[in-house]
Structure 1
Amino acid sequence: MFSKFVESYYMWAVPMRKHGMVPEHSFFQALNSWLIAIMPDKFYNKVEQGSIVLKKAIKFSFCRDGIIVQGESALIKSDIVIFATGYNGDQKLKELFASPMFREIVVGTPSTAVPLYRLCVHPRIPQLAIVGYSESMGDLHTSEIWSKWLAHFLDGGFQLPTISSMEEIVKEWEAYMKRYSGDYFRRSCVGSVGIWPNDQLCKDMRCEPRRKNGFLADWVVPYEPADYAGVSPRK
C-alpha cells in the first residue's frame, strides 16, 4: 500500500508520463532491487526548456558528428558523448578468479540470485568474503555492519553453518527476491528489509538485535544507522 501511494504521488508530481519516462517496473520492484534514481534539482524544467533532450532507444550507434538513435530520422549532433553504462558487479566478481570453476559458480546462473550466504560469503569458495555487493538506502552503513560481522567471524567469534545449510538460506533469499523484485532478482538489495538482515548479523555476533530502548519504541520508532553504532560483538 505504501509503495502504491508513493508511486501514485510521483506520477502526479513528476511529469514522467508527459515525456515518456514512466518506468516499466513498479516502485515496489524498484525499492526491492534498488533501481531508484535520484533526480537532479529542476531536471524536468531543463527538459521543458530543451537544454536536456530525452530519447528512448533499444539501439544506437556513434558517427563522426554525434549519435544515431534507432527510429530517429536525424542524427543527434554532439562534440562530446559520455558513455555511462553503470557498473557490472557480477563481471567484477568473476574477474577475481583465474580458476574456471570459481568463475562459473561465484555469481550463479542467470536464473538464480548471486549465491552469497548472509550476502557476504560464498558457501563453496573458501577464504572469500565480499563486502559491498549488497545495497541499501545507506550503503556506508550496510558495508560497515557486514564488516563488523566479518571481523568477528575472522576473530573466531562464531562458525559458519555447513555448506548445505548455507545454500538453503541462500535459496530462501533467492525466493524472496524473485517474488518481490520481478526480473531484477539478481541485484543484492536490502533496501526494503534492512532490519531483517541486520537482525541476522546481530544474532550471529551474539548482540541484541533490538536496538531501541523499550518494546514500544522497537515497534514504532524508525531504525537508523546510528542504532547499530554501538554493536559490540561477543564470543
Structure 2
Amino acid sequence: MTIQHICIIGAGISGLVAAKTFIEEGYEVTVFEKQQRLGGVWEVSRTYVGLTTQNPKDTYAFSDYPMPASYPEWPTAEQMRNYLESYAQNFGLIEKIRFQAEVTQVKRRTGVKPGWVVSVNCRNHSNDEIQKEEHEYDFVLVCNGLFNIPKIPLVPGKEEFIASGGQVLHSTEFNDNCQIEGKRVIVVGFGRSATDITAYAVHLAKECTLVFRESLWKVPKFFLGLVNIKYILLTRFSEAWLPYRQLQGVEKVLHTFGKPIVWAFWKINEILLRLQFRLDASGMLPDRPMSQSVNCSSAIAPENFYKYLYAGKIKTQKTTIARFCNDGVELANGKRLQADVVIFGTGFRQDVPFLEEKYRRLLIDDRGYLHLYRNLIHPDIPEIGFVGYNSSFFTQLTSEVGAWWLAEYVKGNLALPSRSETIEVMETELHWRQTQWPQDRGNGGCVSPFNFHHLEQLIEDMGVKSHQKGWQRIAEVMMPVNPSTYQKIRQELRGKRLSSVNDSENGDSLETDVTQELLNQQMSIGKS
C-alpha cells in the first residue's frame, strides 16, 4: 500500500513535531485541533496562572529550533505558546492545521484500499454552527496527549456545594486570579499543578489548605542553591543509578556488586533535600525512598513552597475528601474545612474515545494501561501511530524522535520483529513496569526515569549510531540532555537512506552493464 495522506489529531507539542516530520518526508498532512489555538497543554485556556516549564529552556526545545536567548531559564506558559507558534510558523505548519475541529470517530475504511475514515465536528466561523465532516486517510497519527482529559475524583455532595455558591475546578480551569482572590481555597493533590497553585495562592487567598494522600519528593531548581537541576536529573549519569530492565556494562555492575554505592548515592540526595527544604521540621518527609519516586510525577518545588509550609501560611491535611458540604468539605479523617473554592490538581485520565471500539480495547485494558510497542504502535491496529505516548523528562525530544521512528515505520524502513514477538516485547515491558517498578503509577505512557534508554532504543531500531566515543562519550554521559545534538541522528538517518538508494541504483546499473556485456559476447559468438 502507498501511504500519502496523513491525519494528525492534536496540535500540541507532539502533533506539531509529527506534522513537521511527515511534511519534510513528502506526505500530505492535515492536523485537526479542537481548541482555538495550538499548544496542547500550553494552550491559553488550559494553563493555570503562574505556570512555568519544569525544564530549563535549553532542555525543552526541539532539536532544530532553540528557544530565544531572551527567555528566562524556566519559560512561562505564555512564552511556551509563543515558542510553539513561532515553530509552527517557521516550518509552515499553520496552514495545515484546522482549528476548532474535534475528531469524533476514527473508523477502519472498508474496501480495496485500507486506511481510516475520520469524522470531525468543525465549527463554522461565519455562523458559529457545528458542521459534521468525513475524511479518508491512509495513516493516522494520534497526538491528543496524555494530559488531555482532566481527572476529578467522584466526591458526593458536589452539586450541593456548588448550589451554595462554591466552586469546584480542575487545575486546568484555574486561569484568573479573581477565582481565588480573598477566598478560602482548598487544593487537592501533591503533584506539580497542585503545589504550584498552592504556592501561588498564598498571597491572594484568604486561606489556603493543601489536602493530599502522600507527600512526594520535590527537587529544587538549584541543588544547595548552586547546581542547576539539569546537571542532576537530566543526564545519563543520573539515569544509571536506577535499575533498568536490561542492565549492561557499568549499570550491571552498579546494580549487582555496587548496590551499597547506589544506596549511598540516593541517601545523600535525600539528606541534601531534607536539609535544603527542612522537610523534617515541616512534616513533609516522604514515606517512600527517593529512588522509588523518580518518574513522570517528579516535579520541581515551587518557589518558597516549603518556606510557606514551615511558616504555616499553607495549611496541610494528609488525607482525602470524603464529601462536600454546603460550606466546604468533610475529610476522611473526620475533620471539616470551610471553603469557597476547591481546586483538584489530580492529574488526567487517558482515553482515545474516538477510536473504533475493537481497536480501543486493544490499546487500553480494563485497568487503564496502554499497550504499545515502543510506546508508538500496536501490531494489531494497522496504519495508526501514537506520538507523545512516551512522556518523559524532556517530552518534546522523545516525541520528536518518536515521530522520526514512525516516519521510518511508514516507509517500511524498520526491521521489526514478527507480530508475536512484538506483542511479547510489548507485554514484557509493561509487566516489568507494573511489577518491578510499581512506584511508577503511570499507565504505561511514561518512559521516565529511563528517558535516555528509550531514546537510544528508538535510534537503534532506526539503524543509526547513538553514542559518541572516547572522551566525548564521557562528556555525553555527564552533561544534561542537549536536543540539538540529535540532529546528527536525523542527518545520519537521511544519509543512510540516501546511501541505500544509491547502492540500489548502482546495483541496477552494474546488473545492466553485466547483462549488456553477456549480450555482446553472444552476438560476437554468433557472428563468428
Task: Give the TM-score range, shorter chain.
Answer: 0.7 to 0.9
Matches within 5 A, 1:44-55: 44-55=306-317
AA at the equivalent of 1:107: I
User: Which residue number corresponds to residue 284 of structure 2?
Assistant: 21
For residue 56 of structure 1, the aligned residue among 307, 313, 318 is 318
CA contact (8 A) 2:376 2:386 kept: yes
Q: What per-residue deviation string (whole Å, max 9, x for no partner) do you get for residues 40-83 of structure 1?
A: 1111221233331111113332222222222243x322222212
Q: TM-score, normalised by structure 2?
A: 0.39
Query: What secondary structure does 2:330 align onto?
Result: strand
| Cα distance change on mapping 1:14 and 1:57 into 2, 3 Å | same
Say whether residues 1:3 and 2:266 are aligned partners. yes
Q: What per-residue deviation string (whole Å, max 9, x for no partner) do you get for residues 19-54 of structure 1?
A: 4433343322222x3221221111122123333111
Deviation at 1:96, TM superposition (A): 3.4
Aligned residues: 226
User: Which residue number corresponds to residue 79 of structure 1?
Assistant: 340
Which structure has the greater CA radius of gyration? 2
Matches within 5 A, 1:170-185: 170-178=426-434, 180-184=436-440
Distance in 2 of aligned mates of 1:48 and 1:35: 23
Say whether residues 1:117 and 2:373 are aligned partners. yes
Q: What per-residue deviation string (whole Å, max 9, x for no partner) do you get for residues 108-141 of structure 1?
A: 354x963211111112222221111222211111
| Cα distance change on mapping 1:128 and 1:24 into 2, 3 Å | farther
What stretches of structure 1 of length at least 5 have no aligned partner? none
User: Which residue number corresponds to residue 40 of structure 1?
Assistant: 302
CA contact (8 A) 2:322 2:332 kept: yes
AA at the equivalent of 1:116: L
Deviation at 1:219, TM superposition (A): 3.8
Deviation at 1:159, TM superposition (A): 4.8
Distance in 2 of aligned mates of 1:229 and 1:68: 54
| Cα distance change on mapping 1:164 and 1:142 into 2, 3 Å | same
AA at the equivalent of 1:83: F
AA at the equivalent of 2:384: L
Q: What per-residue deviation string (whole Å, max 9, x for no partner) do you get for residues 154-182 of structure 1?
A: 23322532211111221342344245422
186-195 or 121-130, which moves further after superposition? 186-195
For residue 470 of structure 2, the aligned residue among 209, 215, 226 is 215
What is the RMSD computed on CA atoms of the aligned residues?
Answer: 2.6
AA at the equivalent of 2:484: A
Say whether residues 1:227 and 2:516 are aligned partners. no
Q: TM-score, normalised by structure 1?
A: 0.82
| Cα distance change on mapping 1:119 and 1:195 into 2, 3 Å | same
Deviation at 1:192, TM superposition (A): 3.0
What stretches of structure 2 of length at least 5 have no aligned partner? 1-261, 498-528
Matches within 5 A, 1:122-133: 122-133=378-389
AA at the equivalent of 2:473: D
| Cα distance change on mapping 1:193 and 1:84 into 2, 3 Å | closer
CA contact (8 A) 1:121 1:129 kept: yes
Distance in 1 of aligned mates of 2:281 and 2:322: 23
Distance in 2 of aligned mates of 1:215 and 1:128: 40
Deviation at 1:184, TM superposition (A): 2.8
For residue 206 of structure 1, the aligned residue among 457, 463, 466 is 463
Distance in 2 of aligned mates of 1:218 and 1:120: 28
Say whether residues 1:96 and 2:357 are aligned partners. no
Distance in 1 of aligned mates of 2:286 and 2:361: 32
Distance in 1 of aligned mates of 2:438 and 2:267: 16
